[in-house]
Amino acid sequence: MRKLIPFAAALLSAAAIVSARAAEKTLVVAASVFPQSLQTGQSSFASLSLLEQTNESLVGRDNAGALHPGLAEKWEAVNDTTWRFHLRKGVKWHDGKPFTAADVVFTINRIVDPQVGYGLLARIGQVSGATVVDDYTVDVKTKVVFPTLVRGMSDIIIEPKHYYEQVGAQGVIKKPLGTGPFIFQSYTPGDRYELKANPDYWGGAPKFDKLVIREIPEAATRVASLLAGETQIIEEVPIDLIDQVNTSGRAKIDEIPTSAGLILTYDVRKPPFDNPKVREALDYAIDKPTILKEILKGHGELLQGQLLTSSALGFDPSLKARPFDPAKARKMLQEAGYNFSTQVPITTQSGKYVSDVDMCNVIAGMLNEVGVKATVNVVEGGVYSKISIANELGPLSMVAWYNLGDADFASVWFTKGGKRTVWVNDDYEKFFAMGRSTNDEAERVKAYHQMSGVMFEENPAIFLFGLPSVYAASTKIAGFGAASDKVLRLSKVELK
């Protein structure tokens, strides 16, 4: 009998462990693409979506794109070139250290240091530096009037000064430390990101214990995982699978318009796309209304000869998309001396944007109809990121730029300062600088119209569609909403 006592105790202990695990609530989300690392400042909302689980910005942004207080409770303009941010008190980093003005000043001054190479520097590119006023007040100074500063701050992750001093920049990338609703556990690029709930989160502790975000690049596999109950939320649902999800009884589609303008960008450094007329000719060869109708099923909008979606400040209603005219495209190519034996691969990711590969395949087919030997080159997200940073995406590449409601935020990526294009135009640079250097909204809009006019004439890209953001969520969860900027906001989700 004495020998049975420890055995019974072990059984009870094991049962307790099993019971505890069973009680643990885990939310599993399927993302379409992961960044190579958790380095801050990468110009990708896929990266920001992961980083914002642990870290936060001074200015928050909701799913519709509206701004709200984040780590700063309020802000105001002190003068034309100084903004004062009043920080939230009582906030702690995940290691228990207090969040203070020193962290904000460290973050901003690090970002504007050109030696750092911060990928999102263009968001606050007119900032000259930040200074501590007191422990919970920071002044941010700009070189000139900078009307988009506050909105730009909503993309800037605040990082802990003391932690950088302890572990260095690489240590921070390897194991992020934040103030946010979830605490880092592990990150495996191409596989999964594991976090646990922060019980002391200033915005209220999450209502589940563990968060797992898995990378599932194949769209149909993401849908299958949701319907099988392996995941509870998935992003980028293909348009042709929407009905399957909605009729499953197990999940529902959640969709919201985005400010993302989907384009095909040319490498204008090399023939034949160093010729603007060749670039224009291909625009006539693509039947965009048919793609919008047949592939996107009417979800999204046709871009009207510009990078901006129609709701953005700076959208030019006088510009219109070029009509589908393959005969004109063929004639223009012949007049431009186009070499019809040129191979034109279209580089894209799979699942990064809704129906991206399907659209590329159709576009390649349309280009072949006018004699352009186009093919589709699908690359993994990490590879795409590397060749994008190196500006080696090839003759044509698919990308979407978010304007966040203001022309500045998408247009910046076609400036030299944005470092995401090989096309350079002095007039475009001038109009862009004019648009972000005045608080007069009418003057800003005028500058952005001129800027879009330059792009329409020069054709550094083919403007395709304003994209929808299509998520699906299990009927066994509540509190989730589709995000117009593709940033997952999960702290209010509940598992039923």
pLDDT of residue 43: 62
Helix (H, G, I), strand (E, B) or coil at 411: helix
For 283, residues 6+ apart whose C-beta sits below 8 A from its C-beta are 322, 329, 459, 462, 463
Is the pLDDT reported for residue 401 higher than 50?
A: yes
Q: Which two tokens stand for residue 19?
A: 């019971």
Q: What is the mean pLDDT of residues 438-459?
A: 96
Q: How far apart are CA 193 and CA 214, in angstroms?
A: 6
pLDDT tens for residues 223-273?
999 999 999 999 999 899 999 999 999 999 999 988 899 999 999 999 999
pLDDT tens for residues 338-348?
999 999 999 99
Mean pLDDT of the chain: 92
Is the pLDDT reported for residue 167 higher than 70?
A: yes
Q: What is the mean pLDDT of residues 117-139?
A: 93
Instruction: Answer whether 178's CB lies under 8 Å from 146's CB.
Output: no
Token pair 């990711």 in the structure block, residue: 349
More confident residue, 43 or 312: 312
Q: What is the mean pLDDT of residues 395-413?
A: 93
pLDDT tens for residues 18-35?
454 456 899 999 998 898
Label residue 11 by pLDDT band (50, 70, 90): very low
Is the pLDDT reported for residue 291 higher than 60?
A: yes
Please give the torsion angle defined by the CA atoms of residues 349, 351, 352 and 357, in that order, rounded to the nearest 10 degrees. 50
- For every residue of 184-211, DSSP letters joined together read EEEEETTTEEEEEE-TT-TT---SSSEE
Is the pLDDT reported for residue 495 higher than 90?
A: yes
For 78, residues 6+ apart whose C-beta sits below 8 A from its C-beta are 84, 139
Instruction: Answer whether 224's CB lies under 8 Å from 244's CB.
Output: no
Q: What is the mean pLDDT of residues 446-456?
A: 97
Q: How far apart are CA 49 and CA 36, in angstroms?
A: 13
Is the pLDDT reported for residue 4 higher than 50?
A: no
pLDDT of residue 354: 86
Is the pLDDT reported for residue 5 higher than 60?
A: no
- For every residue of 412-442, DSSP letters joined together read GGGSTTTTS-S---HHHHHHHHHHTS-S-HH
Instruction: Answer whether 26's CB lies under 8 Å from 208's CB.
Output: yes
Instruction: Answer whether 332's CB lies under 8 Å from 277's CB.
Output: yes
Instruction: Answer whether 489's CB lies under 8 Å from 60's CB.
Output: no
Handedness of CA 105, 110, 114, 117 (dihedral sign): negative
